[in-house]
Structure 1
Amino acid sequence: MKRSTEEIIEAIGGKENVSAATHCVTRLRLALHDESKVNKEMLEEIDVVKGAFSTNGQYQIVIGNGTVNKVYKDFVALTGVGEASKDEVKKAAESNMNALQRAIKTLADIFIPILPAIVTAGLLMGINNLLTNPGIFYSNASVVYMHPQFGDISSIINLIANTAFVFLPGLIGWSAVKRFGGSELLGIVLGLMLVHPDLLNAWGYAEAQEQGAVGTWNLFGFEIEKVGYQGQVLPVLVAAYLLAKVEQFLAKRVPDSIHLLIVPPVTLLLTGFITFAAIGPITFTVGNFLTSGFVSIFEAVPVLGGLIYGGFYSPLVITGMHHTFLAVDLQLIASIGGTFLWPMVALSNIAQGSAAFAMMVATKDEKLKGLALTSSISAWLGITEPAMFGVNLRYRYPFIAAMIGSAIAGIVITLAGVYAPSIGVGGLPAFFSIPTTFWGNFFIGMGIVLIVPFIITLIIAKVKDKK
């Protein structure tokens, strides 16, 4: 193992090129001084290396579960960089990023920690749909209708599933304030404050406004509507930034002896007043405007929308920009009851898996065959990094084949109006999060991304093999 680690160090430009290093479950995560010094071909020839890529200012080397711990231990000993936390490596990597990359990374840092809760909620909502929707297991009835004893089970599943979406501002508030350098506890309180039961539910705002039933506060002659922000993203993001900055400002000026009595109450009060008076109404309007824009584009030119988003989602993953669309998905779900973007994400993941699987069938290289098989299964279950960076991008044409298949499927399901009321597992299990009325069209799209990338990749691989 030590010899392989020495080869990795040589391939990345020597120990002098390493600024900081850490690791996750499968990958060595490095902040390098100069990524142009990396010899990627040499790196990918090393036995323990299953792929390598650069993202968000970090150079990540895919090694595998368990093995990465041993490599990292040797890496630290050989380079002398010292063990670093993921946050330390992220900070070191930020020096290599421009303003847009830092903005994208900020959104990623906020949404990635809460993604497991959202995906789990989507999967559970899908299971509840299987129990409550008619026409799945019985021609004109649901499982709950035919078997009433499952009614309470379905009700509990639905409650658990909806919790993450009902209290979404609380999750975002925690993660955003943490990212902006404030108190995570105050972030949670801020988010929950925006969905307090005393406030008008955001989903009933339009109807209440028509009926003139929106309650108000009267503050010094100003009327502020008592409206909640259930499912909203922008209000809590902006409010979280303000809260963190107010808290930091006060913390530097208030003595420690009275910190608890002054900083948290003043921070929450000031942020709360500004949020309900200005941030909430403004960002709510902006969010609805952006949502209307997306919907209008896809309604006006569905073929173009499906082609672009379905085909080019994978390149967005390379740049890290795909994380920004999670906020768009959540905003669409809150505004119109579902997202037409996420189903294309699920199909894009499957397409990458199909292309990698074709490489497994075509190649005679045993190492590549094993990597392609495991990474294709991973992609079909929603984790595309091993397939994309370990196989498809290395040979390019499988990646392009996956984009073609995903673009065609994106057009098909967009024309059919397929949407998801929640975000679930972005692979083969994705149909659980799709309303049953759209299963037929979604399965057609799934068939396209399973077959088209596989056939294109296999044909090109065979042609190249004959040369």
Structure 2
Amino acid sequence: MEIESVGTTHATEAKPTASHNSMPYSEEANGIVAALGGEDNIRAATHCVTRLRFALADESKINQDALDNMHLVKGSFSANGQFQVVIGQGTVDKVYAAMIAETGISEATKDDVKAVTAKKQNPLQRGIKVLADIFIPILPAIVTAGLLMGINNVLANPGIFYEKQSFIDVHQNWAGLADMINIIANTAFTFLPALIGWSAVKRFGGNPLLGVVLGLILVHPDLLNAWAYGDALEKGEIPTWNLFGLEIDKIGYQGQVLPVLFASWILAKLEIFLKKHVMDALQLLIVAPVALLVTGFLTFIIIGPLTFTIGNWITDGLVAVFDHYAVLGGLIYGAIYGPLVITGMHHTFLAVDLQLIGSTGSTFLWPILALSNIAQGSAAVAIMFATRNEKLKGLSLTSWISAWLGITEPAMFGVNLRFKYPFVAAIIGSAIAGAWITMQHVKASSVGVGGVPGILSIVPGGWTAFLTGMAIVIIVPFAITLLLSLRRKQDL
């Protein structure tokens, strides 16, 4: 998840004299810091929605046993140059606040942490980190929109409550409510470039408000809607601008990801350049207008058409692969999604899902993600039945619930990877279910809550196949994990 607050250690600072019990979780925060080798070993610290993230000077100083024996800690691991301690949603904010208040770790900027961890990352990891930094902040809006669209789908699609009619066809008094839900839900997807523009320009160091404006420019109502581009192309009715003899297509980029990503980078870098070279007294009159005007021209003339074509190539390529090799594609993606989460590369597929939805109206990848989350929870809850360790029982239970509601970190890092075979069992179940639902052409109309609530985002015609997939990821990982646990009782 997006880094929300950051800290860095300054060894020369005077340590706080506050009591360890002056605020909630102060004792636990001090214990975590001690287990990580003390304040002097922490070069920078931050947190996301579920995890504390540390840039450590020497990871060999970590007391892993001490971390594992803390009731608050649900797991820990090292990835992308950071040592991460899984705490859980909500609680992690309080633990981090206590750590800042009760230790010598002080507030710092996001760039401080990135500067430390970037030294340990290769170019691929840094690229993935950039995408994560852009898409994770807008994820709540996208997931909320997906969940609401799922509710609207239940009300507006035929074949759910009645064989050939929708719920609102039979109960007309609900039509207004469904339409209002649909508008609220569709807004995030309709203005997706504005959300991406805000987050991307902010990530690249520019003014995020200019990013919002850039995104809104790309979906201006005077432009040809991107979803109508195909029909207009066939009819030869694409509107154009005539720029001194140069014909430029007058089209919007609704639902598109790549155009606004590249344009945001140009906008941010141009704004930074202008701020350095324009005197302070004239910046308000020159920097933003020139940056937006130049970026806008470049986007409509070069960036937009080029990235729109590339995006369509990516979409067409994925669709072709899954059309011709559905079982293999679903099997592979179902198998690799769990390992992708460990590396952080799963963030790149959010952009792919959004691109598929923007180009085709649905995605066949996201349903596999939802089932993978359920599989991780099923493997974790099997450990609860197999172990006699009370702490592990409690951790397995809460991790199972969390995973089935879309947050897999506690299950994956706190239980499954700790024993390894539950993680493998989850991968096996996810791969089988992925192959099954892809063969049945199950698709999601939006990105929603990954887990059991994910069914609301599934196109209703695929509900039966998706429910079968859910049964697979519930039974297979649970059964494999439980059988292996009973044979390896000494590990529990």
TM-score range, shorter chain: over 0.9
Aligned mates of 1:60, 1:226 — CA distance in 2 = 47
How far the C-alpha of 1:68 sits from its partner, in A, is: 4.8
User: Which is worse superposed, 212-221 or 387-396?
Assistant: 212-221
Structure 1 residues 2, 307: CA separation in 2 closer, same or farther (over 3 Å shift)? Answer: same
Q: Is the 8 A contact 2:88 2:410 kept in 1?
A: no
* Residue 259 of structure 1 pairs with residue 283 of structure 2: yes
Tell me how far 1:2 sits from its aligned partner: 6.4
State the partner residue of 2:427: 403
Matched, 1:101 2:125: yes
| Percentage of matched positions with identical amino acids | 64
Match status 1:441 vs 2:476: no
Give CA deviations for 1:97-117 in whole Å, capped at 9, x if unaligned.
221111101000100011111
Displacement of 1:293 after TM fit? 1.2
Q: 1:274 matched to which residue of 2? A: 298
Residue equivalent to 1:182? 206
**Deviation of 1:126 (Å):** 1.0
Partners of 2:132 and 2:347 within 8 A in 1: yes
In structure 2, the residue matched to 1:422 is: 446
Q: Which residue of 2 is the match for residue 14 of structure 1?
A: 38
Distance 1:441 1:73, change over 3 A: closer
- In structure 2, how many angstroms separate the alpha carbons of the residues matched to 1:289 and 1:73? 46
Q: CA deviation at 1:90?
A: 3.9
- 2:5 maps to none
Q: 1:235 to 1:24 in 2, by over 3 A?
A: closer
C-alpha contact 1:22 1:30 (8 A) present in aligned 2: yes
2:137 corresponding residue in structure 1: 113
Report how far residue 86 of structure 1 moved. Answer: 5.2
Q: Which residue of structure 2 aligns with residue 314 of structure 1?
A: 338
1:96 shift after superposition: 2.2
1:373 Cα deviation from its structure 2 partner: 0.3
Q: Can you give the 5+ residue segments of structure 2 that lack an aligned partner in the other structure?
A: 1-24
Residue 290 of structure 1 corresponds to 314
Task: State the partner residue of 1:33.
Answer: 57
- The CA deviation at 1:76 is 4.5
- Determine if the alignment matches structure 1 residue 206 to structure 2 residue 256: no
Residue 332 (structure 1) aligned to one of 334, 356, 367: 356
| Kept after mapping to 2: 8 A contact 1:58/1:90 | no
1:14-413 to 2 correspondence within 5 Å?
Answer: 14-24=38-48, 26-64=50-88, 68=92, 71-72=95-96, 75-76=99-100, 80-84=104-108, 88-413=112-437
Task: State the Cα deviation string for residues 355-398 of structure 1 (Å, max 9, x = none).
Answer: 01111111100001001101100000000011101111111111
Following the alignment from structure 1 to structure 2, what is the Cα–Cα distance between the partners of residues 248 and 263? Answer: 9
CA distance in 1, matches of 2:52, 2:281: 43
CA contact (8 A) 1:22 1:84 kept: no
Q: Secondary structure at 2:430's aligned position in 1?
A: helix
Cα distance in 1, alignment partners of residues 311 and 486 from structure 2: 49
Residues 274 and 71 of structure 1, relative CA distance in 2, 3 Å threshold? closer
The count of residues paired between Structure 1 and Structure 2 equals: 467
Deviation (angstroms), 1:11: 3.0
- Which residue identity is paired with 1:57? G
Q: Report the 3-state secondary structure (helix = DSSP H, G, I; strand = E; otherwise coil) of the residue aligned with 2:310.
A: helix
Query: Within 2, Cα distance between the matches of 1:242 and 1:85?
Result: 23
- Quick one: which amino acid aligns to residue 427 of structure 1? G
Deviation at residue 70 of structure 1 after TM alignment: 6.4
CA shift at 1:9, angstroms?
A: 3.4
SS of 1:112 mapped into structure 2: helix
Displacement of 1:73 in angstroms is 5.7
Cα distance in 2, alignment partners of residues 76 and 147 from structure 1: 55
In the TM superposition, what is the alpha-carbon distance from 1:67 to its structure 2 partner?
5.9
Q: Distance in 1 between matches of 2:76 and 2:82?
A: 11
- Counterpart of 2:210, as a letter, is L
CA distance in 2, matches of 1:239, 1:66: 35
Name the amino acid aligned to 1:414: T
Whole-Å separation in 2 of the counterparts to 1:390 and 1:155: 42
Q: Secondary structure at the match of 1:82?
A: strand
Q: 1:363 to 1:279 in 2, by over 3 A?
A: same
Residue identity opposite 1:195 in structure 2: V
* 1:184 partner amino acid: P
For 1:60, what is the secondary structure of its paired residue?
A: strand
On the 8 A contact 2:362/2:444 being kept in 1, the answer is yes
Verify the 8 A CA contact 2:198 2:211 in the aligned structure 1. yes
2:76 is paired with a residue whose SS is strand
